[in-house]
Amino acid sequence: MKPLLSILFVHNRTDELESIAISIQKGNIELLNHTLENYKPFIKKTASSVCKRYIDDMDDEYSIGLIAFHDALYHYDKERGSSLLALAEVMIKRKVIDYIRQQAKHQHISMEKRLLDSVEIDNFSLENTISITAFEQHKESEARKEEIRYFQQSLAKYGLDFEELVKQSPKHEDARINAMKVAKVVFEDEHLLAYFLQKKRLPLKELENKVNVSRKTLERNRKYIIAMIIILHEDFIMLQEYFKGRLG
């Protein structure tokens, strides 16, 4: 199910992180900057799991995590057969932990109060950390599958099928982002959202006056826009991360 989900938001297989890393290692700086921007939510989430608090762009831990993710992109070796995302998560956690230790050393703060479950990280090897990461990723994968199952049920209420939606979603990144922006306009407008929820269809006439998108384009991307509104309106936390990752 995860590949279908990826296709729903990103069609081209070259967008896969491992392939992106190889291009970056060959000197594609523009792609590097784009990737760092797109993976902000992942970096913040990983740093937050260590700090046990929300991390935003202004926190030192975020900057450290960003540097660690940058290093992971350049250190990734496809021949080793490891997951780049797992490597990045380990590197981010280790760098953030080192930073917290350093801060605690200067401020005389007990590390046991700062680290998750009072775990003594020094006793863990890199292999153990990766094992823990794999277990966490497995739990997250199961939660994602469950969320997608409920998402499919929500789509059915609007006469939509998930696999059909994947096939008919916009092929280009710009078109997908524009469709998401339209969905956001509907979601944030009380009148338009009420119409959508009641009629189970887009208020196309009203939308024409609120977005810089032609009626023809709205109709062509109608199913995708509806799916994005559902994601925004309902409690699909993981799917919303994909959505926000596209809009920044």
Q: Using one digit for the tens of pLDDT, what is the confidence trace for 33-57? A: 888 988 998 899 888 888 888 888 8
pLDDT tens per residue across span 104-124: 666 544 544 555 444 444 444
Domain boundary among 123, 143, 177: 123
- Is residue 141 in some structural domain? no
pLDDT in tens, 185-212: 999 999 999 999 999 999 999 998 889 8
* Other C-beta atoms lying within 10 Å of the C-beta of residue 223: 20
- Are 157 and 76 in the same domain? no
Helix, strand, or coil here: 10? coil
Q: Looking at the domain assignment, is residue 144 inside a domain?
A: no
How far apart are the C-alpha atoms of 13 and 133, rounded to whole Å?
24
Q: Of the spans 57-61, 196-200, 209-213, 234-238, which averages the highest pLDDT? A: 196-200
Does some domain include residue 142?
A: no
For the chain, the domain total comes to 2
Tell me the whole-structure pTM to 2 decimals: 0.49
Q: Residue by residue, what is the 3-state secondary structure of 165-215?
A: HHHHCCCCHHHHHHHHHHHHHHHHCHHHHHHHHHHCCCCHHHHHCCCCCCH
Q: Please tell me whether residues 36 and 103 are part of one structural domain.
A: yes
Tell me, yes or no, whether 101 and 158 share the same domain. Answer: no
State the CATH number of the domain containing residue 99.
1.10.1740.10
117 and 159 in a common domain: no
Q: Which long-range contacts (CB under 8 A, 24 or more apart) does 182-191 make?
A: 182/207, 182/211, 182/213, 182/218, 182/221, 182/225, 182/228, 183/225, 183/226, 183/228, 183/229, 183/231, 183/232, 184/228, 184/232, 184/247, 185/210, 185/211, 186/225, 186/229, 187/229, 187/232, 187/233
Q: Which range marks the domain in which residue 13 is found?
A: 2-123
**94/189 same-domain check:** no
Q: Are residues 111 and 195 in the same domain?
A: no
